[in-house]
Structure 1
Amino acid sequence: MITIPENFLLRRQLEGVRGKKVLVRIDANISPEEGRRFGAFRVWALRETLRALLPAAQIILCTHIGDPREKNTQDSTRRLIPFFKKILPWGQRIAFHNWQPGEKIEEKTKFVLLENIRFFEGEKKNDEVFAQSLAAVADLYVNEAFSVSHRVHASIVALPRLLPSFFGYRFEQEVLQLSRIFSHPQQSALVLSGAKIETKLPLLKNFLQKVDIIMLGGGIAHTYMKSNDMEIGNSLHEDRYLAEMQVLPSDKIMIPQDAVCEHHIKDIVDIDGNDNMLDIGPKTVEAYSNICKQKKLIIWNGPLGKIEDPRFEKGTLGFAKNLMYMKNTRIVGGGDTLALLCKNRLEQSFSFVSTGGGAMLDFLARETLPGIEAIVRKN
């Protein structure tokens, strides 16, 4: 199991926090479309770290929203203030600060929320000068943004090299829970689905030798099927990965048995050139669920259907509800999957729900992240 050295964990360094200004990189990237419950889950996950930091002189929160090309009202972090007012411990006040590089923070409140960090081009460029301007407002740095720690951005990589830096409580739990699969892989199963094949293929390759079985869905399943000369009709796939997937051993890969197309449910063997597979069918839900019952650990990343259309979310929801009642360890991740679980009030029904999507995939594939290396390896 992968562990972070204890001298980099915030919970082991609380005495050093007292009286200091602490900059906390969080991920409160919440769009209005994702709903209040999803937003509340993302923000509530920060509560333990924020409570632990109360002895600090000031706690400065830094996050991004979206990927804006220029400053705009919709992507301003100002709209997050109501979320934080609900979860801040002991009725603490929070102020919004329209921070600019080189400015000092004059607010006297315990909590300060900076403007969207991606409004500044230095963030995505991992610019050292921009990182220095962030470092100038604080004495310590805490990374509580596991879900963006696969990004080589200034607030994730360059900044922690400039300040004494630690991992927050939630970040520590993300690493601990996801690392379970490395400690007993032969009793584990991976459920891998979704449209972003590029981010999932490295994990698929890596885990073929680490888990008992990998169950596929969505675009990555369709691409694998086509690479093995199976008919997929007009279903989502990526031809550029066919050669890579064709050589993967098939003894550990499980594909759907049936699929929900636009107007009907079909067995996979009956799919023709006019079909478009948009969700897994009931036979697949049952088959995947039965496999999961037999394992000690399940890790699931990515929706099993086109869940942005309610007609094609039944497979994902059916599978999720079956997992709810199992007694094994069930870890779920991925932004779209989490949003659907929150929408249906299921997010508390699993052993652990990761806040990471791409970060979860990268961590499982590489067993580290740029945001981890920036703190642990900086010396």
Structure 2
Amino acid sequence: MEFNTLEDLDIQNKTIIVRVDINSPIDIETGEILDDARIQKCSETLTELSEKNAKTVVIAHQGRPGGEDFTTLERHAEKMSKILDIEVDYIDDLFGPAARKRISNLKPGNILLLENARFYSEEILNRPAEEQAKTHLVKKLSPLADAFVNDAFAAAHRSQPSLVGFGITLPVAAGRLMEKEIKELEKAKEPNHPCIYILGGAKVDDSLSLINHVLEKKIADKVLTGGLVGQVLLASTSVDLGKPNMEIIKEKGYKKEIKRGEELLSEYGEKIMLPQDFRVEKSDKKAKNISMEDLPSDYPVYDIGDKTVKDYKKEIKKAKTIVANGPLGVFEKSAFAKGTNKILRAIANSNAFTTIGGGHLVAAAKDQDITEKISHVSTGGGACLNFLSGEKLPVIEMLKESAK
């Protein structure tokens, strides 16, 4: 490996700072954590550190400033304690005197979760690791620690103090989740063929970059599209989706991506599959399947239609490698979960090496209880897209530099 793992660190009785990504969906009314998947995913690293008598200091974030889910990590500590079956302490401080005192008093095997890193303005800044090493967070906590472990793959595309700053000041290693994510996603970058990518969701700019990369490098043989990604590409073919759908594209700031879509389709049109029919939400809130001939639509397109599902399932059946990121419709509404769910079941039942990523698609797979049938379920959305696009992720670059 190009980076250090836990085997390369002296852990016994040492103070280890661990950055995890346990950013979770929160019930706005009650503050309850609705899905603890990310907490479960980092449990292997935290359990191993505790069992090896490390004094473990956990840094994490929840939400963004101004968001409804921007809250403390107290509930996360409670949930973490249950999952690990180890008492996880929590303090509502990150690098102040109270936090530093608690860190200094940790006993071997103890785990302490610090306050939401994004409560502090420094954490919002994306800058090079050398600059982040000069922040108060890194300067105050580094002297208390012997090493730093990064297990936050889902945030690996960020360059914030808690993610890259400690790489300059401490010995660094990847946690077990980070190690597994990189190893499994590398398989998708050197796939068995036929290889197909299935891209939906609303991250249109990232998805178009990924389409260009996997087709240019001949990683993928075909790309199947849905969600807002599919709609933008349809608009690139001069299809009139109708006013409600073009308004959504404008509101999301993706009108400029239509031109980019034209260039992609001009270069790789025969390898990019677009939806051929759709499910729309009528004024009575009911779903209706419509064909291309029924466009432009007076109603919002919320899912791929039955013919598209059938066409996509044929490609899935032939594939030896399948990578999917983002839902193919507004699956949160049960009437429009059909396309996403049918495609996910086809992926789960295939004999291919399968990878899915993106919080919404993973949530849909969990709803159907099929995650065990997927070869690799990534915790990353944007990080997964960027990694597969061949982009250099700041956290992974930091791990490599530290290993040198």
How far 1:96 moved relative to its partner?
A: 0.4
Matched residue, 2:188: 181
Describe the shift of the 1:360–1:73 C-alpha distance in structure 2 as closer, same or farther (beyond 3 A).
Answer: closer
Describe the shift of the 1:298–1:165 C-alpha distance in structure 2 as closer, same or farther (beyond 3 A).
Answer: same
Matched residue, 1:129: 135
Matched residue, 1:22: 16
Q: Is the 8 A contact 1:38 1:343 kept in 2?
A: no
Partners in 1 of 2:69 and 2:23 — Cα distance?
14
Letter in 2 for 1:188: C
Q: Select 1:13's aligned residue among 8, 11, 18.
A: 8
Structure 1 SS opposite 2:269: coil
Deviation readout 1:48-95 (Å, 9 max, x if unpaired) = 21222122431111100001259x99610001122111221xx42211
Partners in 2 of 1:286 and 1:179 — Cα distance?
29
Partners in 2 of 1:123 and 1:137 — Cα distance?
19
Letter in 1 for 2:106: K
Matched residue, 1:154: 161
Matched residue, 1:323: 347
Deviation readout 1:220-279 (Å, 9 max, x if unpaired) = 111111111122113243321121111212011001121001131012243224242110
Matched residue, 1:261: 280
Partners in 2 of 1:23 and 1:310 — Cα distance?
42
How far 1:37 moved relative to its partner?
A: 8.8
Q: In the alignment, is residue 219 of structure 1 matched against residue 228 of structure 2?
A: yes
Q: In the alignment, is residue 65 of structure 1 matched against residue 62 of structure 2?
A: yes
Matched residue, 2:316: 292
Partners in 2 of 1:73 and 1:346 — Cα distance?
27
Matched residue, 2:285: none
How far 1:181 moved relative to its partner?
A: 2.2
Provide the identity percentage: 29
Matched residue, 2:238: 229
Letter in 2 for 1:297: T
Q: Is the 8 A contact 2:63 2:69 kept in 1?
A: no
Partners in 2 of 1:69 and 1:32 — Cα distance?
14
Matched residue, 1:247: 263
How far 1:315 moved relative to its partner?
A: 1.1
Matched residue, 2:208: 201
Structure 2 SS opposite 1:30: coil
Describe the shift of the 1:30–1:221 C-alpha distance in structure 2 as closer, same or farther (beyond 3 A).
Answer: same
Describe the shift of the 1:159–1:312 C-alpha distance in structure 2 as closer, same or farther (beyond 3 A).
Answer: same
Q: In the alignment, is residue 51 of structure 1 matched against residue 47 of structure 2?
A: yes
More displaced stretch, 25-34 vs 300-309? 25-34
Deviation readout 1:110-139 (Å, 9 max, x if unpaired) = 110000000011112254223222323321
Partners in 1 of 2:298 and 2:179 — Cα distance?
48
Q: Select 2:152's aligned residue among 145, 148, 153.
A: 145
Matched residue, 2:106: 108
Q: Is the 8 A contact 2:184 2:376 kept in 1?
A: yes
How far 1:344 moved relative to its partner?
A: 3.5
Q: In the alignment, is residue 357 of structure 1 matched against residue 381 of structure 2?
A: yes
Structure 1 SS opposite 2:311: helix
Q: Is the 8 A contact 2:358 2:379 kept in 1?
A: yes
Matched residue, 1:278: 302
Partners in 1 of 2:160 and 2:275 — Cα distance?
38
Structure 1 SS opposite 2:323: strand
Deviation readout 1:122-159 (Å, 9 max, x if unpaired) = 11225422322232332111111000010111111222
How far 1:195 moved relative to its partner?
A: 1.4
Describe the shift of the 1:32–1:192 C-alpha distance in structure 2 as closer, same or farther (beyond 3 A).
Answer: same
Partners in 2 of 1:100 and 1:352 — Cα distance?
33
Q: In the alignment, is residue 165 of structure 1 matched against residue 158 of structure 2?
A: no
Letter in 2 for 1:80: H
Q: Tell me, which stretches of 5 or more residues in structure 1 are unaligned?
A: none
Number of equivalent positions: 370
Structure 2 SS opposite 1:98: coil
Q: What TM-score comes out, normalization by structure 1 length?
A: 0.91
Q: Is the 8 A contact 2:20 2:151 kept in 1?
A: yes
Q: Is the 8 A contact 1:194 1:218 kept in 2?
A: yes
How far 1:185 moved relative to its partner?
A: 6.0
Partners in 1 of 2:326 and 2:144 — Cα distance?
38
Matched residue, 1:366: 390
How far 1:314 moved relative to its partner?
A: 1.6
Q: In the alignment, is residue 39 of structure 1 matched against residue 45 of structure 2?
A: no
More displaced stretch, 295-304 vs 186-195? 186-195
Letter in 1 for 2:62: I
More displaced stretch, 30-39 vs 314-323? 30-39
Structure 1 SS opposite 2:256: helix
More displaced stretch, 344-353 vs 170-179? 344-353
Letter in 2 for 1:334: G
More displaced stretch, 241-250 vs 139-148? 241-250
Q: Is the 8 A contact 2:88 2:112 kept in 1?
A: yes
Letter in 2 for 1:116: N
How far 1:280 moved relative to its partner?
A: 0.8
